[in-house]
Structure formats: structure tokens, C-alpha cells
Structure 1
């Protein structure tokens, strides 16, 4: 398939720059097979079945957008330059990869100061990224980052407005607990505590997994032949308890529904050929395109994705390319809000992994 197969025209007015308030007031496009129904996220307890399992990504977004300054003496006197930093990923030795602007103003070994007592040394460039070594580590680093940093909003929001204090709440899930992401698992942003309680009372089960979403999630596909695209890698973990609960649900014929493409990619990466899971930890660069056979997934709750993105390919693999084109056409025609702060969808294909397992058993 070609990249152009996943393109569509999206009016800029449908790109959300703030979430719905309250979170559960967001619209929810319910797609069961080819059928489409317009609902709200708040309706989930009435839509899901008792025994359904929602797989939640409990990664916590770090406020990795930093504004700093470097100071240099010159013949004309001290010179100060503003440096914008977006941290990308921690390295095993305590350093960080980062994007710096403007990179050309820095010399190797120079210090960037973000706040009193919080600075980093620029150690050069490796590949496409700068390398920073901070003067703090552990809890001291975490505390300083929480104070000095801002949420790393996606490019399509950051181009329209700067991050602010409200994003510290809006761009974090209510069940976030494992620090490590530089982007949010945005389908999960629609949940609040009251909705989780209502779902639990309705018999819906929650299983937590962790995939630390990286900045690579926003990288565009640059090749027309999608088989030549190199997928970014992200770190994740599934505990033994989470694996056992998912295995039990599948054995009992209950639906496993990841909330977000990050949770889906993680469980599909860890699953054996027969769909069983065990404790798993590592990195995944799984690239799901039409033709992929889902091993665990029976449905997916997800926001509306960018044209020509790997996530458009993933949802096309789950629902079928023609069905997804119809879903997105309906979403655009009826004014659904798109991307990270936008509305959501619940995609339930006619034959999920669990349905196939039950059919094979019978």
C-alpha cells in the first residue's frame, strides 16, 4: 500500500487546542463493524459489556519543555542567548537526548541554565539529537524539572499556542504513575475518576500496562512505499499480574480493548503467536499496517489521527481501510475534534482476536 492511501483533507478548524470540559463530555464515535453511532465518552458504561477489559497505559508525561539560557563572554562583553530544549529520552549513563533551538549558538561544553541550581552541559550531537548532562539527578532532578519545565505539547498544538499551567493537568491522565513519557497516551485523557468508578460498577475490568510514549510518535512518514518506513522505538513493560489477567479474560471469551494505540502496540508486541502473554519488558518498534493479524486486541478506543500517519495505518488494519475512510468522512462532516485534545472513537471490528479464538474453539 502507498502512503497516499491514508491521506484525507482535514479542515484546520477541527484541530483541537484545548480538551473538552469536563473530560467525559468529549464526543465518542462508536463504530461496530460498518455501523456508526454518535455518542459521548460519558456513555461508555452503557456501551461496554460486563467483563470487558480496558487496557490502560499508566505512563506519566514529564514536563520536558524547558526554556534556558547560555552565557558567554566576548570582546564586546557578556552575551546571553535563549535556548529552547525538548528532552527526548534518558540515556543509561544519566544523560539525555534532546532537541535544542537554536543549536548553532552552542559550543560543546557550554552550560545551559534553566533555573537557579538547575543547569545542563551541552556535550555535542549524536545522530539527529543533542546530548545534555544535567547537574542534578534522581529526585532532585525530578523536582527541578517539575518546577522549571512545561508540558511538551504536540507540534500541531504548539504551533498555535504555547503550553501553560493548565496543560500540566490537561495533558496527564488521572491514572498516570510511571514517569518516562514525553507525549501523552491521549485516548486516556478522556477518563476522570467518576467515569472509572462507573465503569467498574458496570463490571468493566482495568488492566494497567506501561509504554513510555516518545517524541517519535509525531514523526511523519516520508516514503510513499510504507513498507520502507522505519518505525520509532518506545520502552514498555507488562507485569506478570497484568499478563495473567489478560490471559484469563481471553480464555473466558471476554473482550480486550486497549485504550489508545500505545497500549495496543505494547500488548501486540508482547503477545505470542497464540495471543498469550507473559511478563515483558523492553522496547518495541512494531509497525501495524493493513494485513496484520491481531493476537490480543478485540477493539480500540482512540482519538482521531493525522493524515498519512502510522496510526492511520494501524486503525485501518483493525477496522479495514474502507471502513476507516467512512468513519473519518463522518467525523469530519459532523464536526468531531481531532488529535490529542480532540474527541474519541470506540472501534469494534466484527472479528477481534477474542472472537476468532472463540470461533476456533467451537
Structure 2
């Protein structure tokens, strides 16, 4: 499959700058793969497509305030630091991206906060924009993480041109977020409200939680025409025994197993057995899913509308069928659905 197959014209005004006023009142496009039908609903109508014993698989990762602004020693130049992953808790080592990168070299120190009490030293270059920082902080680890969180901002995607606002702290987080570690939200889950989850629970729908910590690699552009040559960055996943029991029981009983988001789907497909059952897992995945692909676990999926040529669109295309998804995206543009992180949703049955 070629990269050019995933290009389409996306008007800039369809990129959602803000979320819907109420989580479950975003729009929902429903795709039926068997009947090749497209329906236009509200997200809260999702409940009508699930019955007792069906299962939703949720990614319970929690976004941390990964974007910091510091000043370079001596020059006072303002530097954006985007925290990617913690490398060593004891030594306070972090993988980060810096901007502008040309100004940041090994040995430079960066100062954060008005009192400049949080200091980091650059100890390595990892990529053109990547650096390894050692934070120089003498307090306890808990105090250090609190200081990082206090200094950080909600890491809204770059396409959102406005600054992060107080409301984003809550809205750029699923209501079931639990395990901190993501630099971006698993956005399909942003549409679920407490009320909708409770209604689904009353109806008898089950929920299985797993964790995939979303890294920026998910959003890296694909720069090769032959998709088989693209390499995904690794992301950390944890699939507990309770989740495997729920998933495998639902499959054994021929119920719906719905992956809520591409991250949940990627985690499931990273730990599937030869007989299409889920295994427990604790580790990393760099799995890249694009058409053609045979999915082993989930038989339905909730996802957002993705950017042209993105790996997220490619996975969705593999699940929905390339031609059918192309038709759905053309319909979405025509009907002015909102795209990307704060945008509308799609249910693929």
C-alpha cells in the first residue's frame, strides 16, 4: 500500500480548535462494514449499538503536562521543552524535544519557573530536535514530579494554534484516565461522559481497561511512499490479566469487542495469540498497522477523524476497508464533521 492512497483535501476550518460543549454530544458517523451503510448520529447514540455482554476496551492512560517553557542560561532565550519519557527516576533523566533546537547544545543549562529553582542540564543529543536532560533537583522524587507538573502545560496538539486554557486540563483527558504517562490523549475516549458510561453499564455492557502510553511517535509524518518501510516509535503498554479474561470471555461468547481508539486497538494487536485470543503483556510495542491487515481481537472500533497520510488513518483504513473509509471521509468533509483530537467520532461495526 502506498502513502499517496491516504491523501485527501481537508479544509483547515474542519480542524477542531475546541471540544464539543458536552463530551457525548459530538457527532458520530456510524459505518457498517457488512452493509456498506453510513449513518449520522450523536455520540450518545452509541448505546443503541451495544447489548448486554458486549465489551468496550478502554485505554486508561493519563496525559501529563508535558510542555514546559524555560530560559537558556546567560542568553535568557525562551526554549520550549516537550517531555517525552522518563529514562531514569533516580537520576532525573528525561528524553525531550527542544525548540528552537539549534540553540541547545550539550552542557547548556535551562532554568524553569519565575524563581528558576528548577534547572536542567543537556547531557546528550538524540535526534535533530531530541535531547536528554538531567534535572538538577535535590528534593524527593514526589516533590520533583509535583514541580514538573506545576511548571508544565497541557500538551495540546500543534495544529491547535491557541494557548492551552484551564478547561483543557480536564477536557484533554478521558474521564477514566488513571495511569500517568502519555504526552497526547487517546482522543476517541474523550467523547465518553460519566452519564453515558453509566447508561452503558446499566445496559450490561462490560469494560476492560488496558494502558498504552501515547508518545509523539504516533503523530510522526510518514515520509516513505512504500508503507512497509516506515518505522513506528515504540510505546509502552500494559495489559492486565483482568482485561484478558474479559476480552477472551466476550470472544468466546461471540459478543462485540470494541476497541475505543487506535491506541486500544494497537495494544490489543500487539499481544494476540495464534488462536486470536488476548495475552497479558507488559512491555513495548512498535506495531504499525496498515492495509491489508487481519485483525485478531476487536470486531468493532470507535475512533476520531484523522489527518491525511497519518498512521492513525492507515489503521482505521485497514479496519474499515480502504475504499469504504475513503467514501466515509469524503462524506465527513461534505457534512462538515470536525477532525482530529477535539473533533467528532466514528463507530465502525
TM over 0.5: yes
Runs of 5+ in structure 1 lacking a partner?
Answer: 73-78, 349-362
Q: Which residue of 2 aligns with 1:50?
A: 52
Q: Which residue of 1 aligns with 2:308?
A: 307
Structure 1 residue ranges, 4+ long, deviating more than 3 angstroms after superposition: none
Contact 2:92 2:136 in 1 (8 A): no
Matches within 5 A, 1:280-291: 280-291=281-292
Q: Is it true that 1:150 corresponds to 2:146 in the alignment? A: no
Contact 2:303 2:346 in 1 (8 A): yes
Residues of 2 paired with 1:261 and 1:208: CA distance? 14
Q: Which residue of 2 aligns with 1:241?
A: 242
Contact 2:59 2:264 in 1 (8 A): yes
Secondary structure of 2:146's counterpart equals helix
Residues of 1 paired with 2:306 and 2:52: CA distance? 29
Deviations 1:146-178 (A, max 9, x none): 211101111211xx2122222111111111110
What TM-score comes out, normalization by structure 2 length? 0.94
Structure 1 vs Structure 2 CA RMSD:
1.3
Residues of 2 paired with 1:18 and 1:91: CA distance? 33
Match among 78, 85, 90 for residue 82 of structure 1: 78
Query: How much does 1:126 deviate?
Result: 2.0
Deviations 1:306-329 (A, max 9, x none): 111112211111111111011111
Q: Which residue of 1 aligns with 2:42?
A: 40
Residues of 2 paired with 1:254 and 1:14: CA distance? 35
Residues of 1 paired with 2:70 and 2:177: CA distance? 27
Matches within 5 A, 1:1-362: 1-33=1-33, 34-72=36-74, 79-92=75-88, 94-115=92-113, 116=115, 117-128=117-128, 129-136=130-137, 138-157=141-160, 160-348=161-349
Runs of 5+ in structure 2 lacking a partner?
Answer: none
Query: How much does 1:142 deviate?
Result: 2.2
Residues of 2 paired with 1:260 and 1:69: CA distance? 37
Query: How much does 1:108 deviate?
Result: 2.5
Contact 2:218 2:232 in 1 (8 A): no
Contact 1:150 1:164 in 2 (8 A): no
Deviations 1:149-208 (A, max 9, x none): 101111211xx2122222111111111110110011000011121111111011111110
Query: How much does 1:94 deviate?
Result: 3.7
Secondary structure of 1:144's counterpart equals helix
Residues of 1 paired with 2:232 and 2:217: CA distance? 8
**Aligned residues, how many?**
340
Query: How much does 1:44 deviate?
Result: 1.6
Contact 1:244 1:278 in 2 (8 A): no
